[in-house]
Amino acid sequence: MRESNKFAAAFAAILLATSFAAAAEDRAQDAAVTERVKAALATDRALKAREIEVETRDGVVQLSGFVDSEDQRTAALMRARSVQGVQEVRNDLSLRDDTRPAERRVADTVIAAKVRDSLQGADLGADSEVNVEVSKGVVQLSGFVSTPQEKARAGDLASSIEGVRDVENQIALTDEPDPAPQ
């Protein structure tokens, strides 16, 4: 009986070590895909690649941030799709909108810092990765969280910050079904 318990424990330890190694390999592959996509975006002079956030999870690339035109949004999508290792692209890029009325102007960098601070103090779960971009008081949230409640909480926190005119909550759920490719 003791021999079978030792065998079971050893087998469980091997399975656990294998799953940790596979998870680390997946993260490394996702990081490499992210870097290749960023490099591809940087080759297009029409794109402001530094203003485009790129996140990758399980080969699914999420583009977020603000661009000036639908042509730039499409160009970013096409560049990302062309990168080796990309299985799917979620194009969550938003068009800048200068027509939204301003109440009291607060610098975008100040808003972004306050939103990030607020999100860090929130209980969003250990597996959460939330990016914050701000353009003319419009906050765009992107990245990944585990539950719809975490996504809603992030949006609520962002909208409560002074100077925020609108929140575009494009956070993806890690366990949601794959969206239709764009």
Q: What residues have CB less than 8 Å from 58, skipping those under 6 apart? A: 26, 30, 87
pTM of the predicted structure, to 2 decimals: 0.58
Integer Cα distance of 33 and 38 in angstroms: 9
Per the CB < 8 A criterion, the answer to whether 110 and 163 are in contact is yes
| Mean per-residue pLDDT of the chain | 81
pLDDT of 28-59, one tens digit each?
898 999 999 999 999 888 888 788 889 898 88
The mean pLDDT value for 71-86 works out to 91
Q: Which fold has domain 29-173?
A: Histidine-containing Protein; Chain: A; (3.30.1340)
- How confident is residue 122, by pLDDT bands cut at 50, 70 and 90? confident
The pair of structure tokens assigned to 158 is 């962002």
Beta bridge partners of 141: 132, 169
**Lowest pLDDT segment from 16-25, 60-69, 170-179:** 16-25
